[in-house]
Amino acid sequence: MTTHKERLDGRTSKLTLAEILEIMAAGYDLPLKFTAYDGSSAGPAEAELGLDLLTPRGTRYLATAPGELGLARAYVSGDVEPHGVHPGDPYELLQALAKKLDFKRPSALTLANVVRSIGVEQLMPIAPPPQETLPKWRRVAEGLRHSKTRDAEAIHHHYDVSNEFYEYVLGPSMTYTCACYADADSTLEEAQDNKYRLVFEKLRLRPGDRLLDVGCGWGSMVRYAARHGVNAIGVTLSKEQALWAQKAIAEEGLSDLAEVRHGDYRDIREIGFDAVSSIGLTEHIGLQNYPAYFGFLESKLRHGGLLLNHCITRSDNRSGAHAHGFIDRYVFPDGELTGSGRVIAEAQDVGLEVLHEENLRHHYAMTLRDWCANLVDNWDAAVAEVGLPTAKVWGLYMAGSRLGFEVNMIQLHQILAVKLDEHGGDGGLPLRPWWTP
């Protein structure tokens, strides 16, 4: 008797469109229902979760980019629709589709049967949705990776969506980095405030100190420090972020202590800072630029000054750095991640002494959960602001990233380091961690 897997592997008869969708999206024998515009279905009829293939264009997306990218194109363009989840938070469907978020390309035999079933004409490429950036090879051909110009373009793609849209997703803190939850019942706002408190204490900041915050986003760390009497300068490549932050600084009456600049962190000329914070910037730097990046941050510190580097990492130090598929083309062009060991080594290699590191992986999963909840709550307004395809990209990206943190594909590390003097002096730091966890 032919098994379901053997049939989908292409060893028997022609496949229906629903079976093709099942192959491209999930593989075999998952508790999901797949339907298609030809009236076919696959999977358990009673399943509450699943996907519906609505158009021939969706079939072509699936056939011309088998796996994650083709499915993302069909979903973003409205050619594939989910069952049983909200587009602002498709977490449960993604969890069912891929426990390890590992969308494998079907075998050559299976792909051959897909082509036989739908016709070779479906392999003619069509334009991807406009929300998709150029493929990596085209971006390489058109500009040096991680040059100032290209970094600015990548940041613009990701962060200049709309300040109003980010307000809907991030909430009042306007913080697009991992929060730190004191307990499971903490609200997102409490957790974000706690994260800034943690960074502030780790950096041993005192009134009158000078802080440089590179990649400062909407200036939340800068404003937190200024409220506690610290002179803080932030810099961001996003013009939209800088304008929002500058307005917030003025409205809070912090202009005598806080400043946010629109520009590249490499253009900061001041030196002798008591502390430098980098919260969510390292992901955009590029591994080949780590020596220059950490060298630059080290050069900005006084002897005994502290650096706090907060960034997403891989769960090991062997995996490739580049993002692939959906993340690279729709969310983080040119984004690169590596393991925390590599980040620590690069900081040490420029002469910084690493004092402490901790992994906030579970906290980022909780943060993404709460961002998705905000997007669901503000869905109609968010769609009106940026359009349905872009809103769907963000729901998919955040829910998928939540899963990535939960299954330990990615992590979030805070690394604390000090700039020593020529005799190895650290400025008289306490012997043990001095902050409240």
Give the integer Cα–Cα distance in Å for 156 and 32. 37
CB 344 within 8 A of CB 406: no
The DSSP bridge pattern shows strands 210-214 and 231-236 to be: parallel
Torsion sign (Cα): 97, 98, 103, 104: negative
Give CA 435 to chain center in angstroms.
28
Looking at the domain 152-419, which fold is it?
Answer: Rossmann fold (3.40.50)
Contacts of 384 (CB under 8 A, 6+ apart): none
Q: What is the pLDDT along the chain (437 residues), one digit of tens a residue?
A: 445 555 555 555 788 999 888 888 866 567 899 999 999 999 999 999 999 999 999 999 988 888 888 999 999 999 999 999 999 999 999 998 875 455 666 777 777 877 777 776 667 778 888 888 876 544 455 555 555 554 545 544 445 579 999 999 999 999 999 999 999 999 999 999 999 999 999 999 999 999 999 999 999 999 999 999 999 999 999 999 999 999 999 999 999 999 999 999 999 999 999 999 999 999 999 999 999 999 999 999 999 999 999 999 999 999 888 777 788 888 878 789 999 999 999 999 999 999 999 999 999 999 999 999 999 999 999 999 999 999 999 999 999 999 999 999 999 999 999 999 999 999 999 999 999 99
With H, G, I as helix, E, B as strand and everything else as coil, classify residue 41: strand
- Which pLDDT does position 155 carry in this prediction? 47
The DSSP bridge pattern shows strands 80-83 and 231-236 to be: unpaired
Alpha helices (runs of H) in 258-413, residue ranges in sequence order: 290-300, 325-326, 340-349, 361-377, 379-386, 388-406
- Which pLDDT does position 330 carry in this prediction? 85
Contacts of 242 (CB under 8 A, 6+ apart): 236, 260, 261, 262
Angle (deg, nearest 10), helices 163-170 and 379-386: 160
As annotated, the residues of the chain forming the CATH 3.40.50.150 domain(s) are 152-419
Type of residue found at 346: E
With H, G, I as helix, E, B as strand and everything else as coil, classify residue 165: helix
419 HSE (CA, 13 A, CB side): 23
Strand partners, 419: 352
H and E: helices and strands count for the chain: 18, 11
Cα-flanking dihedrals φ and ψ of residue 318, to 5°? -110, -25
